[in-house]
Structure 1
Amino acid sequence: MNTLNEGENSVLVSIAMCTYNGEVFLDQQIQSILDQSHTNLELVIVDDCSKDGTFELLQSWHTKHPSKFKIFRNEKNLGYNKNFEKAISLCSGDFIAISDQDDIWLPTKIEKLIKSFTKDNIVLSHCASIHLLGNKLKSKSGVLRWERHFSGNNTSSLFLFNQVQGHNMMFRKTLVRYILPLPDDVYYDWWIAIVATCYGCVSSVPEYLVQHRLHRNNAYFQKGKKSKKEDRLYLLNTLKAFSGIRQMEPTARLFLAELIQQISASVNTFNHKFDFKLFKFIHKNRWVIFGHKKRFFPEWSLLKASFKYSKP
């Protein structure tokens, strides 16, 4: 059943937010959510044992808007993925949107995402974001300049490069049973995007509706720089996790198995030299793997991308 048939404004949207030492920018993000043109919202916020004044701020917001806020505090630190798993599981809305603690949402973000669920088989929708560095928007960072915004259910095109980011997405609550539990060592938004393509379709709203803040204390900068071998090992483990999704389309599953075989061989024989076999496989499948790229000279661009994934 398409919930939207009952009227867009009546649809309850849950916002799943995880906080950790986020007091500096938290007020701006929460206010931008409360300023949404779609007003039927609940904010489900789980604090992961913050050591600053984050939880006290959340309590203050709850006091001002008790009907809008559900706040929780973990007894022990769960980490990024498991905290989002808990937040998602506590949501009661027909749709669930993910929120970082330090971004700024444009007022029509929720409204436009909801309107994109035009068919019952659309289980997830996402918009685009633009980087906010300090208090300045970096217009050249806008992904729509360089990429085709993903839509549809071609799972294979997300195996190496995920365009569907957590702070941009909204999904139906019916998808939760297939999303959870979140794998420990796979980026939660990558996992959700892959699952969505296996159990339905993804819709695209190719507009900048989020100002995604970059600063030294957020996850973007805390990932740390990995070696090429570590990168490939992480990718291998991620791809193996994807292989456990039951509803994956047979063609995608076959391609995934081939990709796992290639990455596994690359990890096992890694010797800090250019991996020609991996390059050959990636370049052969370049239009599947790098179909998101939007360039003036696509073949040259795809050749460089294939080279990048194969070099030591």
Structure 2
Amino acid sequence: MNGPRLHTSVALCTYNGERFLPTQLESIARQTIVPDELIICDDGSTDATADIVADFQRQAPFTVRWIRNPQNLGSTANFEQAMQACSHPVIFLCDQDDRWREDKVERMLEALNQHPEAGFAFSNARIVDEAGEPRGFRAWDSLPRLLPEGKQLAAVELFPRLLKQCVVTGAAMVIRRDCLKGFCPIPRDWVHDAWMAIVLSAWMPSVAIDDDLIDYRVHASQQIGLRRPSGFPLSLGPLGSKLRAKGLSGTRSSEVERLQKMARQFAQVKEHLQTVDAPELTAVLAERLTDLDEAAEHYRTRHQIKATGRQVAKVFGELRAGRYHRFSLGYLTAVRDLAGF
């Protein structure tokens, strides 16, 4: 690995993970560069998760810390707690049901060394089924190109993309611990990785790695996951989850609620960024705050359209302002709004 050896923590959250956890733990232990510590925060498992962790602790090639919550916190609060418990300058986020490629830690540390200005890095992922068999697509397959032609790794300007579509999943993410103060506390109506990505990308670069450094397992019992239903592209969910976050599925009432929630969430990002202590970024942050205002207004307008019926003038107003293209899926979303679904 080029550059200094960065010491690493892994923040792993568990909840009734006995089915897939052994495979994930084994994949972490097999890394070409093993982490320095593994922090496991359990959210009240009632299965054999505790026994699996205890067995792993006895033979792991690194320190393993087990924290059991006295009451269920939910995934967002649990991940925030796990990251806060990490002691090393680089933190890998980890789900209980995936599988890491053997060089994941090495490759992501190389990315951070190559781009010391970046606050986090994230990779592509191979989607696998419950048995760990590839499903024939990758996490970024339906996304517009993230990296320049011919590039497998590069710093990217992520913020404008995140205003319309999340391209980051926490299971494929590594952050610098110094960044924690920039995005904590995490609002509880957010998914932790979506909040982290949009807040951090507002004031620092990130690094995208177009390589499948994890097998992302899709199964019926996961709380949040990637899906590719027939006829629709895969979505990571910009501010919440799955396909609904692209406006491509769900009932009319759920869509109205989603749009209202997204308007509120963009306002939350703006409020949080106004507290960031980064005076050298004043001009950049001012532009970001304007973008967030426009995004929130776009979703408030779309909420009104959905809640009250077809409003042609409002749809065309959003098209003229360019907000359907900046914050939604362009003409596709506009046509759906006009058609009333």
State the TM bucket, normalised to the shorter chain.
0.7 to 0.9
Cα distance, 1:195 vs structure 2: 1.8
1:262 maps to 2:298: yes
How far the C-alpha of 1:58 sits from its partner, in A, is 1.0
Q: 1:111 to 1:63 in 2, by over 3 A?
A: same
- Other-structure match for 1:297: none
In structure 1, the partner of 2:49 is 54
Counterpart-to-counterpart distance in 1, 2:162 and 2:73: 27
Is 1:232 the counterpart of 2:246? The answer is: no
DSSP 3-state at the match of 1:82: helix
Which residue number in structure 1 is paired with residue 331 of structure 2? 303
The code of the aligned residue for 2:318 comes to F
Superposed CA deviations along residues 236-263 of structure 1, whole A, max 9, x for unmatched, are: 2211211121256222211211221232
Between the aligned partners of 1:145 and 1:54, the Cα distance in structure 2 is: 35
Which is worse superposed, 16-25 or 215-224? 215-224
CA distance in 2, matches of 1:212, 1:121: 28
Alpha carbons of structure 1 residues 194 and 78: separation in structure 2 relative to 1, 3 Å:
same
User: Alignment partner of 1:205: what SS?
Assistant: strand
Please give the residue correspondences for 1:39-50 in structure 2 after superposition, counting only pairs within 5 Å.
39-50=34-45
Give the counterpart of 1:241 among 268, 277, 295. 268
Retained in 2: the 8 A contact 1:38–1:108? Answer: yes
Please state whether the residue corresponding to 1:251 is helix, strand or coil. helix
Write the letter of the residue equivalent to 2:117: N
**% same residue:** 22
**Are 2:90 and 1:95 equivalent residues in the alignment?**
yes
2:298/2:327 contact within 8 Å kept: no
- How many angstroms apart in 2 are the aligned matches of 1:75 and 1:231? 32
Report the residue type matching 1:216 in the other structure: A
**Matched residue type, 2:42:** D
Q: TM-score if structure 2 supplies the norm length?
A: 0.79
- CA distance in structure 1 between the partners assigned to 2:66 and 2:60 by the alignment: 11
CA shift for structure 1 position 147: 3.1
Q: Which residue of 2 aligns with 1:124?
A: 120
* Alignment match, 2:159: 155
Q: Which letter does structure 1 place at the counterpart of 2:289?
A: R
Deviates more, 1:161-170 or 1:216-225: 216-225
302-311 or 185-194, which deviates more: 302-311
SS where residue 332 of structure 2 aligns?
helix
Aligned pair 1:189/2:217, yes or no? no
Letter in 2 for 1:106: R
Return 5+ residue gaps in structure 1 as ranges: 291-300
Pick the aligned partner of 1:139 from 136, 139, 144: 136
Task: Give secondary structure in 1 for the equivalent of 2:19.
Answer: helix
Report how many residues are paired: 296
- Show the counterpart of 2:221: 217
Give unmatched runs, 5+ long, in structure 2: 148-154, 227-240, 245-249, 277-283
SS class of match (1:249): helix
CA distance in 2, matches of 1:287, 1:268: 18
Larger relative CO (CA 8 A, sep 6+): 1 or 2? 1
Q: 1:199 is paired with a residue of what secondary structure? A: coil
Deviation at 1:94, TM superposition (A): 1.4
**Distance in 1, Cα, partners of 2:307 & 2:124:** 38
Give the match's secondary structure for 1:207.
strand
Q: What amino acid is aligned across from residue 122 of structure 2 in structure 1?
A: H
Deviates more, 1:230-239 or 1:93-102: 230-239
Cα shift at 1:149: 2.7
Q: 2:17 aligns with which of 22, 28, 39?
A: 22
Q: Distance in 2 between matches of 1:306 and 1:38?
A: 48
Contact 2:18 2:52 in 1 (8 A): yes
Q: Distance in 2 between matches of 1:309 and 1:271?
A: 11
TM-score by length of 1: 0.85
Deviations 1:177-227 (A, max 9, x none): 112111110111111111221231011111111111011110136969561
2:178 aligns with one of 171, 174, 180? 174
Spell out, residue by residue over 1:37-82, the C-alpha distance to the aligned partner (whole angstroms, 9 max, x if none). 1124311100000111112211121122284211110011111111
3-state SS of 2:137 partner: helix
Q: Secondary structure at the match of 2:202?
A: helix
CA distance in 2, matches of 1:79, 1:130: 26
Alignment-derived partner of residue 13 in structure 1? 8
Which amino acid in the other structure matches residue 286 of structure 2? Answer: P
* Contact 1:153–1:198 (Cα < 8 Å) also in 2: no
Deviations 1:74-126 (A, max 9, x none): 01111111100100000011111110000011111111111112233211100
The CA RMSD measured in Å over matched residues stands at 2.6
Q: Which residue of 180, 201, 206 corresponds with 2:210?
A: 206
| Structure 1 residue identity aligned to 2:109 | I
Whole-angstrom distance in 1 between the partners of 2:30 and 2:316: 48
With 12-21 and 250-259 compared, the bigger mean Cα shift is at 250-259
> Measured at CA, do residues 286 and 115 of structure 1 come closer, stay the same or move farther in structure 2, by a change above 3 Å?
farther
